[in-house]
Amino acid sequence: MTMTRGSGAGHRSVLVVNDTRVDHHHGCLAVMGAISLLLRCNGMEPLLFWPAHTEWRGDAEFESTIAKVDLVLINGEGTIHHDRQSGRQLLELGARARAEKVPVALINVGWEANGTDLVTLLNNFDLVVARDSRSAERMRAGGATVRVVPDLSLWFAQAQGIRPGSTGSRAGIGVTDNVDRFKALTLERLRSTCGGQMVSIVYGAPGPGSWLRFLREGVALSKDLRHPARLAALLRLRHRLWWQGSADTQRFLTHLAALKLLVSGRFHACTLALAAGTPLIAQASTTDKIAALFHDAGLDSWRCEGALNVARVHDASASGWSEQEYRSLCAYLDEAVSEVEILFSDLAKLAAN
């Protein structure tokens, strides 16, 4: 297990929980990059980044750290949905921080299909911030006080110089995969048929055995072994993603910004494409987070509704943005940057209490 530490010298110290960089995913790098930069810009220092998928209960280093920080900051991202145990584990940290009399904030959270007992856990937080209005409405329906700040990846992209109109001419259709392996195969067939470029938001970890681990993450062996043709197709897809993927996030952002159209089943590929002003259409992921993003950004609903096919891809490529969509998108991106910066200023005040 690898944990990242900050110095804490001369700053309010922060324990950052759910560091998703361990997933080797450019969206996660963008979110965590934004958190790191914005904390330091506001006089706060991450004392410890606690990795995603890691149990905190009973860990000596975690217990030592939470007892001495000025703020516990939990990155919700796409973890808290469908009553998953990983989401509950994050939410139970609210009470743990409160027991130490340490302010605790849950930010950048998507929320879908969770029971009332999880909503109740939100009462232990000093600040709860949803990344889309649908998630906020669901939490508010359970009695939680929630504010909305768009996904942190949007701020990060602009900090890297990525914004609508920042590139020259656009060319090519990019197609991502999907965390749902069946939908990923549908997108791969579509990519091949329409002559699109493969766009991999994930990349392989360094070290021995990483290629085999990368291949394994895209299949469910206990189920796919009974379907050899499907297993072979999934392994071919993961192999292509491995070779196309790169750990260079700036290169990934530049690639998205140069496309004429992105076809995606990945939430953060969508946020980063929007940050670049790249037109896109989408296939649903494991939740409705992409549809929620498009709604908040003021995009036409057809972009994330219905089955994708070659005709829809070529129509979307030819049409680009409507004037109204482009105006709405630019306003949304400006608001995102402003609201994210206000949020971290407020977090600094919370840490100082």
Superfamily of domain 4-158+335-352, CATH level 4:
Response regulator (3.40.50.2300)
Least confident of 7-11, 20-24, 201-205: 7-11
- Quote the distance between the C-alpha of residue 63 and its chain's center: 27
Tell me the pLDDT tens digit for each residue of 158-192.
999 999 976 678 999 999 999 999 999 999 999 99
Q: State the pLDDT confidence band at 295, using cuts at 50, 70 and 90.
A: very high
Closest CA to 26 of 183, 157, 218, 131: 157
Range 122-131, long-range pairs (CB < 8 A, 24+ positions): 122/91, 122/94, 122/146, 123/94, 124/94, 124/95, 124/97, 124/98, 125/94, 126/350, 127/103, 127/346, 127/347, 127/350, 129/105, 129/343, 131/76
The pLDDT value recorded for residue 3 is 58
For the domain made up of 161-334, the CATH class stated in words is alpha beta
How far is residue 31's CA from residue 151's CA, in Å, rounded to a whole number? 8
Whether the per-residue pLDDT at 1 is higher than 80: the answer is: no
Taking 70 as the threshold, does the pLDDT of residue 8 lie above it?
no
Residue 4 confidence class, pLDDT cut points 50, 70, 90: low
Would you report the helix, strand and coil content of the chain in percent, each value rounded to 5? 50, 15, 30
Over residues 280-285, mean pLDDT: 96
- Cα angle: 101, vertex 106, 110; to 5 degrees: 160
More confident residue, 189 or 4: 189
For the cut 60, the answer to whether the pLDDT of residue 271 exceeds it is yes
Per-residue pLDDT, 274: 98
Per-domain residue ranges for the chain?
4-158+335-352, 161-334
Does the pLDDT of residue 104 top 50, yes or no?
A: yes
CB 233 within 8 A of CB 206: no
Contacts of 140 (CB under 8 A, 6+ apart): 146
Answer yes or no: is pLDDT of 26 > 70. Answer: yes
Q: What is the mean pLDDT of the chain?
A: 95
What's CA 340's distance to the chain center, in Å?
A: 15
Say yes or no: do domains 4-158+335-352 and 161-334 share a fold. yes
CB atoms within 10 A of CB 115: 11
For 56-77, what is the mean pLDDT?
Answer: 97
Percent over 70 (pLDDT), the chain: 97
Q: Phi and psi dihedrals of 76, rounded to 5?
A: -70, -45
Rounded CA-CA distance 139/143 in Å is: 7
DSSP state of 276: T
Say whether pLDDT at 2 is over 60.
no
Local confidence band at 11 (pLDDT 50, 70, 90 cut-offs): confident
Q: Which of 82, 12, 24 is nearest to 53 (CA)?
A: 24
Q: What's the pLDDT tens digit per position in 44-59? A: 999 999 999 999 999 9
The answer on pLDDT for 269 being more than 60 is yes
Confidence of residue 10 (pLDDT cuts 50, 70, 90): low
